[in-house]
């Protein structure tokens, strides 16, 4: 839906801004610590998705969602100038379309 698209873009902007802020820090965390934090977040999200999607949907299931979570985590690690943890691929090509920068106006 249109509201989901707006929410997704808003969250993407928040992540981009956080990475920009982090890139300007003089004293950054060691890469291993950043990876530990991201790994912890991935673990929590994977537990959640197993509860949220107990049965497979057409084109979406817990295994594909886990792969997507790991893909997003790797992308975030890259933005934070850290090595990837998972080398995951994006199982949902259509998700890239949502995140494309576009002309979105609340009043259109």
pLDDT digits (tens, 9 = 90+) for 33-77: 999 999 999 999 999 988 877 776 667 788 888 999 999 999 999
The predicted pLDDT at position 78 comes to 96
Domain containing 6 equals: 2-93
The verdict on residue 30 lying in a domain is yes
DSSP 78: H
Contact present, 2 and 104 (Cβ < 8 Å): no
Average pLDDT in the 73-91 region? 96
- Of residues 11 and 71, which shows the higher confidence score? 71
The verdict on residue 48 lying in a domain is yes
The verdict on residue 106 lying in a domain is no
**Number of domains forming the structure of the chain:** 1
Which of 61, 19, 10, 17 lies closest to 38, judged by CA?
19
Single pTM value for the model:
0.81
DSSP 82: -
The predicted pLDDT at position 108 comes to 46
């Amino acid at each position: 839906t249109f509201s989901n698209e707006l929410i997704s873009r808003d969250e993407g902007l928040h992540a981009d801004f956080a990475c920009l802020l982090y890139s300007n820090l003089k004293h950054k965390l060691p890469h291993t610590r950043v990876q530990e934090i991201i790994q912890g977040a991935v673990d929590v999200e994977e537990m959640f998705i197993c509860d949220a999607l107990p049965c497979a949907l057409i084109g979406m299931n817990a295994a594909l969602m886990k792969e997507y979570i790991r893909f997003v985590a790797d992308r975030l690690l890259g933005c934070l100038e850290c090595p990837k943890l998972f080398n995951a691929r994006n199982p949902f090509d259509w998700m890239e379309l949502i995140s494309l920068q576009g002309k979105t106006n609340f009043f259109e």
